[in-house]
Amino acid sequence: MKTPGVDVPDHRGRTGLDRTGRELDRNPDVVIRDVELTSQGWHVLRRTTFDYRRRDGRWERQQRETYDRGNGAVILPYDVERRTVLLTRQFRFSAYVNDHPDGLLIEAAAGLLDADDPLTAIRRESAEELGVTLSRIEHVFDAYMSPGSVTERLHFFAAAYTPENRTSEGGGVADEGEDIEVLELDFGEALAMIREGQITDGKTIMLLQWAALHGPFAPGDRP
């Protein structure tokens, strides 16, 4: 029997989804034995079996499930003169079902790369979600956000903006189910919202703390 996503194209035209990881040999203490496709929707869930050499030299067989949603990019636009940042608020079911009061998370604008490079992707997301057209964008760092099970590597960016950069209302792409509120917040207020539990999104906390410690709002603001 042919399996969609393995032998024949799935609904996104993909095949060979069970091949990812089989060729890995960068770590001599890890030997991939098998990769199974356990679920595929828009994103892909795999179960990988591998042999792992422990620090004491013993080999043991392990299995891990990984959720592959592709890589992403996130950005913090900031206005040093007015000491403001642009964030978003949108409904996140995953947070709602896991004890968030209403599921409406305050976040830095972000999105998946899809077929784009990180810089192109974050320019697109800035325009779609925030309604801003940004010129000079700074790459801050990269991070694996949930390495225990999610493969995603997130590219972090920041960029200065002014009111003139706001070229549309933003709000996301309605045809993709997005309904995004744009928030322009005082930077000090945004930091306080972390302490008060109003901002609980990891990537947003990381960017705001970067901005306070090393970025545009660090002591002795950068020129």
Predicted local distance difference test score (pLDDT) of residue 223: 45
Cα 54 to Cα 22, 59, 137, 192, distances in angstroms: 20, 6, 42, 43
**What average pLDDT does range 195-219 have in this prediction?**
97
pTM: 0.92
Say how far apart CA 87 and CA 72 lie, in whole Å.
17
CB 47 within 8 A of CB 63: yes
Pick from 11-25, 54-68, 112-126, 153-167: least confident: 11-25
Which tens digit of pLDDT belongs to each residue from 79-111? 999 999 999 999 999 999 999 999 999 999 999
- Burial class (CB within 10 angstroms; exposed 0-12, middle 13-18, buried 19+) of 42: exposed
Predicted local distance difference test score (pLDDT) of residue 174: 77
Helix-then-strand count for the chain, H and E: 4, 10
